[in-house]
């Protein structure tokens, strides 16, 4: 965003003009949020975020609101556009000690948080933290300028105190911090407004971080054609665990088929054939024994996408099975036990992944991630996922309420449509199955993983409160139907 601002300013738009537009938008949203008689406290920090606040104060005053401009620091220290905006405001303001802020905020109908935005460069401490704390305890709704103060726009992290907003107004494009947790929750509902930064700056900046929305992958997804055949849509194999843990693989296989794979075979240990057979209908079943059995199965070159891990068991046998799979030419999803089984020798796994042509998708949750990439866990979530993708050569889908999908080529997508109900047993197996189903249809792996995370979230919303993993594959049907209808 800094680059976008600078390029716009370099091409002739003055910084103060951008600030004027930003502050104007903030004032409009503030007006929507309280009655025309409402009293608004605008709490301003030392940089341009505060500058947007000064502009908003002027507009709101002109619109007839009672406005209190409260300053964290001495305005003598203001620089650049913020100093200009302060000079043009024409309203009284006061520097407030943290202890006095509570009284200043009492009786107001809305607080505009213009303390810190994109320029946050350290956690909120001291007076700034006390300001955030007092704002949060006031019980007054907060509209944040750009993002909730204390949230790091690049990472979504809030290492110190942070303001809790109900709404945020941001400019030109959202920042990762609007989508990554806890930033997403702290910023509330986000409106992204146009302040005159031309779209063309994006060509030069070439952003590599995306919101996971259909526009990101819709063109890479093929809707079956009229003359299409099921064999055009690929043949996926999901590997089942032993007799006592077969459900995870069946959930995955069902979701794989629902995601559009032409055929899905569940490869079952002989001992688990009976239990698997008694539960399967459209998914096919095949008895596969040991590593030799897997090799024999994979000799069939029509099979093009594989999933191993859900309920498979953590053991050396599992890592050997994974190695046999990696020797094939199929696209592969490694989930759950297939990841944990490599905790003692992750480098060997990564070497094998990097040596093959067909893609591999790893789908760790935080616990599995730390076993494979222990030195990366201190990084922020985007950096963790990107670092893991670069190191492993795989697409990494790092799960959570803010799932991140990262590619070794540097692209990363942040998923934000997952309802909390998705945190339930078997949900991850379904997700792995969806990815496998999209890979079977020859979708490129980054797009397949991103679409799968989105479909999984949308199915969770469709199934609604009280869902269990079994509900997800049926709920995908209307979601897919809507995607087909609205290209």
Ligand X SMILES: NC(=O)C1=CN([C@@H]2O[C@H](COP(=O)(O)OP(=O)(O)OC[C@H]3O[C@@H](n4cnc5c(N)ncnc54)[C@H](O)[C@@H]3O)[C@@H](O)[C@H]2O)[C@@H](O)CC1
User: Residues forming the annotated binding site?
Assistant: 48-52, 113, 117-123, 146, 149, 248, 311, 365, 399-403, 428-429
**Binding status of residue 155 toward ligand X by CB under 6 A:** no
Q: Of 2, 47, 22, whose CA–CA distance to 143 is shortest?
A: 22
Q: Are strands 395-398 and 93-95 parallel, antiparallel or unpaired?
A: unpaired
Alpha-carbon distance of 360 to 391, in angstroms, equals: 13
| Residues whose CB falls within 8 Å of the CB of residue 199, separated by 6 or more in sequence, listed in order | none
- From candidates 134, 149, 246, 407, binder to K ion by CB under 5 A: 149
**Binding status of residue 5 toward ligand X by CB under 6 A:** yes
**Binding status of residue 161 toward ligand X by CB under 6 A:** no
**Binding status of residue 120 toward ligand X by CB under 6 A:** yes
What single-letter DSSP state applies at residue 166?
A: S
| Residues whose CB falls within 8 Å of the CB of residue 293, separated by 6 or more in sequence, listed in order | 267, 287
- From candidates 69, 128, 132, 273, binder to ligand X by CB under 6 A: 128
| Residues whose CB falls within 8 Å of the CB of residue 463, separated by 6 or more in sequence, listed in order | 421, 471, 472, 474, 475
Closer residue to ligand X (CB): 131 or 369: 131
Annotated binding site for K(+): 49, 113, 149
- From candidates 10, 36, 97, 121, binder to ligand X by CB under 6 A: 121
Cα→Cα distances 54→1, 23, 60, 471, Å: 21, 7, 10, 51
Cα→Cα distances 195→12, 204, 306, 484, Å: 14, 19, 47, 34
**Binding status of residue 89 toward ligand X by CB under 6 A:** no
Stretch that binds K ion, among 77-85, 108-116, 224-232, 384-392 (CB under 5 A): 108-116
**Binding status of residue 119 toward ligand X by CB under 6 A:** yes
Stretch that binds ligand X, among 13-21, 344-352, 407-415, 469-477 (CB under 6 A): 13-21
The dihedral over CA atoms of 10, 13, 17, 22, expressed in degrees to the nearest 10, equals: -80
Contact partner at residue 144 from ligand X, K ion, none, CB < 5 to 8 Å by partner kind = K ion
Closer residue to ligand X (CB): 133 or 213: 133
State the DSSP H helix or E strand holding residue 346, giving kind and residue range, or none if neither.
helix 346-354
**Binding status of residue 157 toward ligand X by CB under 6 A:** no
Shortest gap between Cβ of 17 and K ion (angstroms)? 20
Per the CB < 8 A criterion, the answer to whether 79 and 110 are in contact is no
Per-residue contact flags (x/-) with ligand X for residues 36 to 75, judged by CB under 6 A? ---------xxxxxxxx-----------------------
Per-residue contact flags (x/-) with K ion for residues 111 to 140, judged by CB under 5 A? --x---x-----------------------
Cα→Cα distances 322→226, 264, 463, 466, Å: 37, 19, 33, 35
**Binding status of residue 18 toward ligand X by CB under 6 A:** yes
Shortest gap between Cβ of 4 and ligand X (angstroms)? 9
Contact partner at residue 340 from K ion, ligand X, none, CB < 5 to 8 Å by partner kind = none
Closer residue to K ion (CB): 153 or 310: 153
Per the CB < 8 A criterion, the answer to whether 147 and 153 are in contact is yes
Which single residue is written with the structure tokens 């897919």?
Answer: 480
The first and second tokens of residue 188, run together, are 């509330």
Q: Of 318, 312, 377, 374, whose CA–CA distance to 347 is shortest?
A: 374
**Binding status of residue 280 toward ligand X by CB under 6 A:** no
Contact partner at residue 260 from ligand X, K ion, none, CB < 5 to 8 Å by partner kind = none
Q: Which residues bind K ion (CB under 5 A)?
A: 113, 117, 144-145, 149
Q: Which residues bind ligand X (CB under 6 A)?
A: 5, 15, 18-19, 22, 45-52, 116-124, 128, 145-146, 171, 195
């Amino acid at each position: 965003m800094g680059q976008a601002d600078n390029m716009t300013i370099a091409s002739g738009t003055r910084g103060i003009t951008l600030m004027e537009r930003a502050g104007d938008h903030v004032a409009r949203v503030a007006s929507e949020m309280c009655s025309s008689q409402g009293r608004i406290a605008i709490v301003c920090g030392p940089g341009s975020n505060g500058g947007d606040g000064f502009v908003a104060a002027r507009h709101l005053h002109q619109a007839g609101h009672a406005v209190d401009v409260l300053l964290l620091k001495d305005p003598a220290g203001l620089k650049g556009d913020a100093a200009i905006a302060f000079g043009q405001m024409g309203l009284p303001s006061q520097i407030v000690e943290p202890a006095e802020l509570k009284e200043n905020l009492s009786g107001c109908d809305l607080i505009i948080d213009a303390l810190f935005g994109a320029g946050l460069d350290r956690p909120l401490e001291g007076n700034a933290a006390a300001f955030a704390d007092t704002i949060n305890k006031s019980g007054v709704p907060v509209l944040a300028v750009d993002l909730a103060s204390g949230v790091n726009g690049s990472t979504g992290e809030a290492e110190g105190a942070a303001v809790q907003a109900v709404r945020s107004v941001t400019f030109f494009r959202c920042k990762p911090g609007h989508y990554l947790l806890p930033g997403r929750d702290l910023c509330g509902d986000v409106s992204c407004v146009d302040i005159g930064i031309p779209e063309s700056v994006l060509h030069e900046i070439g952003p590599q971080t995306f919101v996971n929305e259909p526009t990101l992958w819709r063109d890479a997804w093929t809707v079956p054609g009229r003359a299409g055949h099921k064999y055009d849509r690929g043949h996926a194999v999901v590997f089942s665990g032993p007799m006592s843990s077969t459900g995870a693989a069946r959930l995955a296989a069902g979701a794989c088929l629902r995601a559009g794979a032409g055929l899905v075979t569940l490869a079952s240990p002989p001992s688990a054939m009976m239990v698997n057979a008694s539960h399967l209908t459209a998914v096919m079943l095949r008895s596969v024994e040991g590593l030799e059995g897997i090799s024999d199965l994979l000799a069939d070159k029509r099979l093009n996408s594989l999933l191993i891990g859900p309920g498979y068991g953590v053991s050396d046998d599992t890592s050997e099975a994974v190695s046999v799979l990696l020797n094939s030419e199929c696209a592969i999803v490694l989930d759950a036990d297939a990841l944990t089984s490599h905790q003692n020798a992750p480098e060997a796994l990564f070497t094998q992944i990097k040596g093959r042509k067909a893609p591999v998708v790893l789908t760790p949750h935080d616990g599995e991630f730390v076993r494979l990439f222990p030195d990366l866990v201190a990084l922020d979530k985007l950096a963790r996922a990107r670092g893991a993708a670069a190191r492993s050569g795989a697409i990494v889908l790092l799960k959570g309420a803010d799932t991140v999908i990262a590619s070794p080529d540097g692209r990363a997508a942040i998923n934000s449509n997952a309802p909390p109900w998705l945190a339930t047993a078997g949900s991850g197996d379904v997700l792995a199955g969806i990815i496998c189903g999209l890979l079977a249809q020859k979708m490129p792996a980054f797009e397949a993983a991103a679409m799968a995370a989105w479909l999984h979230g949308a199915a969770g919303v469709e199934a609604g409160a009280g869902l269990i993993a079994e509900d997800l594959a049926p709920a995908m049907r209307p979601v897919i139907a809507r995607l087909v209808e609205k290209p």
